[in-house]
Amino acid sequence: MSEPQHVRESGTGTPLVLLHAFPLSSRMWERQLAVLPGPDGTAARVLAPDLRGFGAAPQGGEEPSLDVLADDVARLLDRSGVGRAVVGGLSMGGYVALAFARRHGDRLAGLLLADTKADPDTGEARANRERIARAVLARDSVRLLVDEQLPQPQLSATTVRERPEVVDRVRALMSEAAPAAVAWAQRAMAARPGSRDVLPAVSVPALVVVGEEDAITPVGDARAMAGALPDAELRIVPGAGHLTPLEAPDAFDDAVRALLARVTAADRP
Ligand code: MLT
């Protein structure tokens, strides 16, 4: 099985894996890579891989499954000499983080779930994913997906009104996605099981972050996850939609710093 070939990394300290949204890449975490290690670079070791087919990562030959991506993350930790890490992801990245918790729970030092949900797709959502997968492959272009997703439902009305540069940035990031990666990821997400059963077994500190205006994985999904996790903080970020770290980076980064502090306190003998 091939491994993700590309990971952005910065800092030393508590390992923090950040898994990107669909159909973006590790580039969405540029700000967190710069800021979360702190002024002297020792507050966190941030590892942001490109998930299969996105960014600089090869697609590989496996059938679509988020378990494949979760196992890629475990191999990334092995390769990086990391035993346990805070593993976090946004939306699709959050689904992968939940698959990681199911399959590699002993390697979690903390869990970060941003703008994501533990429930599986409805039949209608699965059919829509297959429609998009076929369309982008047939047209050899992701334009249809970008036009359907931006500026809404991805971004909040507040972002669209007050931060047009964020709309442009997300459009550029989405447009870089390869049609084959989009189709593979849509099919992998359609096939994912529900993860509600995983949450009560996560005994490490957890953070659930959601944009107050998230129209894709709304606040109710975040509340349900936070309520099922034994040790979770819920942060609802005003003015943000589905892409909180890009739309409200200060609030997002503050929430992650608080999680890292809780992880450090929990690991202290
Ligand atoms: C994402 O942002 O990763 C997507 O909205 C996830 C999904 O399509 O369910």
pLDDT per residue over 178-204, tens digit each? 999 999 999 999 999 999 999 999 999
Give the number of the atom of ligand 1 that is nearest the alpha carbon of residue 216.
5
3-class DSSP state for residue 153?
Answer: coil
Protein residue closest via CA to atom 4 of ligand 1: 22
Consecutive H or E run containing 236: strand 232-237
pLDDT at 263 over 90: yes
**CA-to-CA distance for 196 and 214, rounded, in angstroms?**
20
Percent of the chain with pLDDT over 70: 98
Between the CA of 39 and the centroid of ligand 1 the distance, in Å, is: 32
Between the CA of 93 and the centroid of ligand 1 the distance, in Å, is: 8
Give the number of the atom of ligand 1 that is nearest the alpha carbon of residue 242.
2
Contacts of 116 (CB under 8 A, 6+ apart): 89, 90, 91, 92, 93, 94, 95, 97, 98, 217, 221, 225
Q: Is the CB of 216 under 6 A from ligand 1?
A: yes
Q: Where residue 1 falls among pLDDT bands split at 50, 70, 90?
A: very low
pTM (2 decimals)? 0.97
DSSP 50: P
- The confidence score (pLDDT) of residue 102 equals 98
Give the number of the atom of ligand 1 that is nearest the alpha carbon of residue 90.
3
What mean pLDDT, rounded, does the chain reach?
96
Q: Count the neighbouring beta carbons within 10 Å of the beta carbon of residue 202.
A: 22
pLDDT at 269 over 80: no
3-class DSSP state for residue 114?
Answer: strand
- The confidence score (pLDDT) of residue 19 equals 98
pLDDT at 3 over 70: no
Residues facing 236 on adjacent strands: 210
Contacts of 141 (CB under 8 A, 6+ apart): 179
Q: State the average pLDDT over residues 210-229.
A: 98
What is the signed CA dihedral for 220, 225, 229, 234, rounded to 10 degrees?
-50
Between the CA of 259 and the centroid of ligand 1 the distance, in Å, is: 23
Give the number of the atom of ligand 1 that is nearest the alpha carbon of residue 22.
3
Q: Is the CB of 95 under 6 A from ligand 1?
A: no
Q: Is the CB of 92 under 6 A from ligand 1?
A: yes
Q: Is the CB of 185 under 6 A from ligand 1?
A: no
pLDDT per residue over 96-125, tens digit each? 999 999 999 999 999 999 999 999 999 999
- The confidence score (pLDDT) of residue 267 equals 85
Between the CA of 153 and the centroid of ligand 1 the distance, in Å, is: 11
Between the CA of 41 and the centroid of ligand 1 the distance, in Å, is: 31
Between the CA of 265 and the centroid of ligand 1 the distance, in Å, is: 32
Q: State the average pLDDT over residues 5-14.
A: 93
Q: State the average pLDDT over residues 139-159.
A: 97
pLDDT at 205 over 50: yes
Give the number of the atom of ligand 1 that is nearest the alpha carbon of residue 243.
2
Percent of the chain with pLDDT over 90: 97
Q: State the average pLDDT over residues 33-57.
A: 97
pLDDT per residue over 225-240, tens digit each? 999 999 999 999 999 9
pLDDT per residue over 84-93, tens digit each? 999 999 999 9
- The confidence score (pLDDT) of residue 217 equals 98
Contacts of 123 (CB under 8 A, 6+ apart): none
Between the CA of 186 and the centroid of ligand 1 the distance, in Å, is: 9
